[in-house]
């Protein structure tokens, strides 16, 4: 091979491309954390939503005044679960727009958590009365609600970072 004829550069580029392809094939496919993400989106989140919808139906049966709100909440939860299930299935099947759907789901979860946290902060705490334990119960419930609101946001943020930085994600879904 003659360096002056330009063949040497072609050989070098071919070798570099070959090494990149080998590295890509090691990371290509739905395995490891990516498989866990697919299971989380495609199975775990829809099951949680179905169980939540069942609980909402039971609560609606005992609270006729809240039926409309609880029904709307259940429908919204099922719609989010459908988005999560589709994103998980699309990622598992390595569909072209799978990452867009997964990122959309996690972004929606962060926005909803921020909205829920704002609503919780805007709700005034119950001030203690000398002979009443309602303030302690209220503060305990407030802390539990804050954890319940922040947990999905934290998980979603972690998965978004994974989707952005993972070498396996970039090897499996190269166009996104």
Q: How is residue 173 annotated by DSSP?
A: S
pLDDT tens digits along 62-120: 888 878 888 888 888 999 999 999 999 999 999 989 999 999 999 999 999 999 888 88
Q: What are phi and psi of 3, to 5 degrees?
A: -65, -35
Q: Which region among 123-127, 132-136, 137-141 has the lowest average model confidence (pLDDT)?
A: 132-136
Q: Is residue 174 helix, strand or coil?
A: coil
Tally of CB atoms within 10 A around 172: 20
* Chain Cα centroid distance, residue 107: 7
pLDDT of residue 137: 55
pLDDT of residue 1: 46
Q: What is the mean pLDDT of residues 136-157?
A: 80
The model scores a pTM over 0.85: no
pLDDT tens digits along 31-68: 889 999 999 999 999 999 999 888 888 888 888 887 88
pLDDT tens digits along 9-24: 444 444 444 444 544 5
Check if the beta carbon of residue 126 is closer than 8 Å to that of residue 83: no
Q: How far apart are CA 83 and CA 171, in angstroms?
A: 24
């Amino acid at each position: 091979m003659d360096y002056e004829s330009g063949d040497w550069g072609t050989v070098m580029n071919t070798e570099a491309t070959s090494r990149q392809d080998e590295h890509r094939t090691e990371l290509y496919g739905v395995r490891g954390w990516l498989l866990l993400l697919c299971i989380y989106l495609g199975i775990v989140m829809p099951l949680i939503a179905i169980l939540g919808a069942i609980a909402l139906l039971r609560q609606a049966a005992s609270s006729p005044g809240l039926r409309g709100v609880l029904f709307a909440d259940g429908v919204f939860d099922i719609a989010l679960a459908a988005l999560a299930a589709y994103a998980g299935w699309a990622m598992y099947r390595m569909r072209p727009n799978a990452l867009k759907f997964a990122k959309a789901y996690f972004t929606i979860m962060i926005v909803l958590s921020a909205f829920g946290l704002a609503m919780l902060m805007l709700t005034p705490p119950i001030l203690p009365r000398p002979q009443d334990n309602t303030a302690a119960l209220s503060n305990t419930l407030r802390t539990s609600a804050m954890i319940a609101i922040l947990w999905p946001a934290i998980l979603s943020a972690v998965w978004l970072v994974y989707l952005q930085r993972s070498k396996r994600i970039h090897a499996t879904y190269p166009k996104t």
